[in-house]
């Protein structure tokens, strides 16, 4: 992890059900789930009955990550006759797994909840947040998913940092690193810098696709020198 959780005073220890998935849930992120395995149908049923959250952790095919995010069940979208259920969840609080608990058909874990430390440099966070939102809007315009980012909402720096971290341009491994950070400024800085590079690559890819679909004249692509000796400059 980038920052030690032991340095963060905002902690509490609880035991929660665990749902390992091949994705990363971030705080405030909406996530629809189709629950079909019997053990997880039991888990979701108990969460609905008790109005409790469960933890989602990223499983990369080999390992379960130690840092995850709790999910609250916002609504039941559909129930099936065979017991399957579709639910809509929302990311809430981050946690670190302390120990696994094996008392029920599904996984449970003793975890420590944690939050970002308080940021003193609010001016720097504001500048990064503004830049990040502008970049996110630009990426949304390129990818065509503007309606999913909730630009009209009034958010604090931490919320904006997770909104940017949830961008589809990031890999699950990158999102996991953003999830683990306990500094809002650091998350904003890394997200904004990485998103700027993603947008630049996306623009280059789009330009190349135009060239391939056109007459093949590489002079149209300003980033490539179409003429001259490849040894020029050496």
Lowest mean pLDDT among 6-15, 19-28, 158-167, 195-204: 6-15
Mean pLDDT of 197-212: 85
Q: Which domains are delineated in the chain? A: 5-114 (2.30.130.40), 122-217 (1.20.58)
The predicted-structure confidence for 104-138, as pLDDT tens digits, reads as follows 999 999 999 999 999 889 999 999 999 999 998 89
- Judge whether residue 158 has pLDDT over 80: yes
The whole-number average pLDDT for the span 64-85 is 97
Q: What is the pLDDT of residues 4-33, one digit of tens each?
A: 343 444 568 999 999 999 999 999 999 999
Query: Considering the entire predicted model, what is its pTM?
Result: 0.81
* Neighbouring C-alpha atoms within 13 Å toward the C-beta of 119: 20
Tokens of 68: 């995850």
DSSP strand E in the chain: where?
A: 12-21, 30-35, 54-59, 64-79, 85-101, 108-114
Angle at the Cα of 194 (from 128 to 25), degrees rounded to 5?
90
């Amino acid at each position: 992890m980038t920052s030690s959780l032991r340095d963060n005073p905002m902690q509490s220890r609880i035991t929660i059900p665990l749902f390992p998935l091949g994705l990363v849930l971030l705080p405030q992120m909406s996530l629809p789930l189709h629950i079909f395995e019997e053990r997880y149908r039991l888990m979701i049923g108990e969460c609905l009955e008790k109005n409790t959250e469960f933890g989602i952790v990223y499983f990369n095919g080999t390992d379960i990550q130690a840092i995850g995010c709790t999910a609250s069940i916002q609504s039941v979208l559909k129930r099936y006759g065979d017991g399957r259920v579709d639910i809509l969840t929302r990311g809430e609080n981050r946690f670190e797994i302390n120990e696994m608990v094996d008392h029920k058909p599904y996984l449970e874990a003793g975890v420590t909840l944690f939050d970002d430390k308080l940021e003193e440099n609010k001016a720097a966070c504001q500048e990064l947040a503004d830049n990040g939102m502008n970049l996110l809007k630009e990426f949304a315009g390129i990818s065509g998913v503007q309606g999913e980012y909730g630009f009209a909402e009034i958010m604090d720096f931490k919320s904006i940092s997770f909104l940017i971290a949830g961008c589809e341009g990031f890999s699950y491994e990158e999102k996991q690193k953003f999830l683990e950070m306990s500094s809002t400024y650091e998350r904003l800085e890394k997200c904004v810098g990485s998103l700027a590079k993603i947008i630049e690559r996306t623009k280059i890819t789009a330009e190349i696709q135009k060239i391939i679909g056109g007459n093949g004249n590489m002079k149209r692509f300003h980033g490539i020198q179409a003429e001259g000796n490849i040894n020029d400059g050496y």
